[in-house]
Each structure stands twice: as structure tokens, then as C-alpha cells.
Amino acid sequence: MFINKVSWPRVNKLLIGILMVLIASNAFTQNVVPENKWGFLIEPYLLFPNMAGDIGIRNLPEVEVDANPGDIFSKLRIGGMLYLEAHNDDWAITSDLLYMNLEQDVTPGILIGSGDLNAQQWAWEFAGLYRVLPFLEAGIGGRLNNIQADLDINRNEIGGGTTPLSAEISETWIDPIVLVRVTGDINNKWMFQFRGDVGGFGIGSDISYQLQGLVGYRFTQVFQLTTGYRILSMDYDEGTGANRFRYNMKIFGPMIKLGFNI
């Protein structure tokens, strides 16, 4: 049997070549930027709202509405909402659709003996946020508002007695907003969030703002439960006479959210 002699110089060159390929491949793998995947949050929630401020509808006298904390649960007015969010490491796109059915007694005064206000409010808030710091996001967006308000009052008359008066109106407008969001978590289980925005700037409302404080717990990678408090304030004034609508109102109350991450 005839055996060829091994050419060691060629083997060394081959081994060195393989080693260089492995080193280059490892360096390339370490320098590849991880894929910035998008995640999605679906979050239906309930708000127990109340209201305080003043309102003017058509030619009726402007009236004051003033709530106290006990009214939230004694009248048990509920708002239904749906929050949607798409996010990655840098960006978040949000949509917040809400409906509130609000009813509150009118505060008696010199002109008004008694009365009540019913306001049904639809709002759609949309925004885009950019992560400035690991815990801080900032962005811009808008809030589309539609309010259908019914006001019934008993106007005081000189010499005694009252006269019943009523009016209703429907108004739609949009407020541009700028917003910030601060988030944090503990062991990827407990979640904390503060969100604030300001808007209107005379384009829709003269001024509007919103504050939200939330704390939640993530039970699984999919399901989370969040509770918190929300304040939404707007100062809107449009039209005169029979077309007048003034809505300087603060809507506030506790809320609870069920979140699903996909």
C-alpha cells in the first residue's frame, strides 16, 4: 500500500484560514444591532368620572358645576375607554378612545335656584412619542372632542319664584397637544407611569391639560392590571347668543385598566 506524505505547510495554512473566518464571523455577530421589534398593547378600561367648573349654553345664564368626592360613587357615572399602543425601543404610537356620560347638579346662586347638567363626551386622543431617556418620552398629538350637553335650570325671579329654562347643544373641536410620559418598573412586574399633556393653544380650546398617575402589576408576559387617577381639564368658548357654548370644565376620577400585550 502506498501512502502520500502529509504536506504540513498546506494544513497549517488551511487551519489558519478557518480560524480567521471564525474570528471574523464572531466579530460580525457581536456588532449586529439587535432587531428593534414592535410590541402592541390593547387596554380596555373604566373611568369613574366627575366634573367641576362652569358652563354656558346658548342664551341661558352661565352656571357653576361643583362636585365632591362622594358624588363619584353615589351617582356612579362610568366612562368606557379603549387604549391602544404600538411601541419599540425608541417610538410609541398611541390611540385613546373614550366615552363619558356625566351628570352633575348645578350650584345654586343669585340667578340660579337649582338645576342639573348632563354631558355626553366622546374623545379620541392620538399621539406619537420618542424616548428621550430610558424613563422619559416626549411627543405631540391631538385630542378630538365631541360634547352633547343638556342644561336644565330654575332661574330665580325678582319678587320670588323661579322659571324653568332648558337648552341643549352639540359641539366638536380638536386640540393639538404636547405631552411627556415618565415610566418605571420593579423586577419587570410592578409598573409606574406618570403622563401629562397641555394643548388647545386657542386652536380648539383656549387651553386644555391632562394628568394621569398609574400603578400596575404584570401577572404574565401577556396580562397586566393597572389602576390610577385621571384629570382632564378644558376651557372652550365659541359663538355668541343662541350659538354660544362655553365649557370650562375639569373631569376627574379613578380608573382601572386591563392590559393585553401581544
- The pLDDT-based confidence of 36 (bands split at 50, 70, 90) is confident
The residue that leads in pLDDT, 6 or 244, is 244
Which residues does 6 contact at the CB level (< 8 Å), separation at least 6? none
In this prediction, what percent of the chain has a pLDDT beyond 90?
Answer: 64
pLDDT digits (tens, 9 = 90+) for 204-252: 999 999 999 999 999 999 999 999 999 999 999 999 988 999 999 999 9
* CB 100, CB 77: distance < 8 Å: yes
Q: In the predicted model, is pLDDT for residue 170 greater than 80?
A: yes
> Do 182 and 196 meet the contact criterion of CB atoms below 8 Å apart?
no
Burial of 140 (0-12, 13-18, 19+ CB in 10 A): middle
Q: How many residues are listed for the chain in this entry?
A: 262
pTM (whole model) above 0.85: no
CA distance 180 to 195: 6
To which residue does cell 404610537 refer?
Answer: 93
Inform me whether the pLDDT recorded for 2 exceeds 50.
no
Asked if pLDDT for residue 134 goes beyond 70, the answer is yes
The pLDDT of residue 14 is 55
pLDDT in tens, 177-212: 999 999 999 998 999 999 999 999 999 999 999 999
Could you tell me the three cell numbers for 61? Answer: 345664564
Is the pLDDT assigned to residue 139 strictly greater than 60?
yes
Residue 103 pLDDT: 82
Per-residue pLDDT, 17: 60
- What torsion do the CA atoms of 109, 114, 115, 116 make, to the nearest 10 degrees? 80
What element of type H or E holds 23? helix 8-31
Q: Which of 62, 63, 64, 66 is nearest to 51 (CA)?
A: 66
Q: Give, in order, the Cα–Cα distances in Å from 257 to each of 33, 44, 125, 151.
A: 34, 6, 17, 32
Q: What is the pLDDT of residue 208?
A: 97
Nearest to 162 by CA among 170, 152, 172: 152
Query: Does the pLDDT at position 135 exceed 80?
Result: yes
Query: Which is more confidently placed, 158 or 132?
Result: 132
Q: Residue 16: its pLDDT value, please?
A: 63
CATH class in words for 39-261: mainly beta
Mean pLDDT taken over the chain: 87
Q: Is 236 helix (H, G, I), strand (E, B) or coil?
A: strand
Give 158's pLDDT tier (boundaries 50, 70, 90): confident
Lowest mean pLDDT among 21-25, 39-43, 44-48, 247-251: 21-25
**Cell 342644561 -> residue:** 151
Report the pLDDT averaged over residues 80-102: 93
- How much of the chain is helix, strand and coil, in % rounded to 5? 15, 65, 25
Region 34-43: mean pLDDT is 86
Give the model's pLDDT for residue 173: 97
- At 33, the pLDDT band (50, 70, 90 cuts) reads very low
Nearest in space to 59 (alpha carbons), one of 146, 160, 169: 169
Task: For residues 60-66, give the mean pLDDT.
Answer: 88
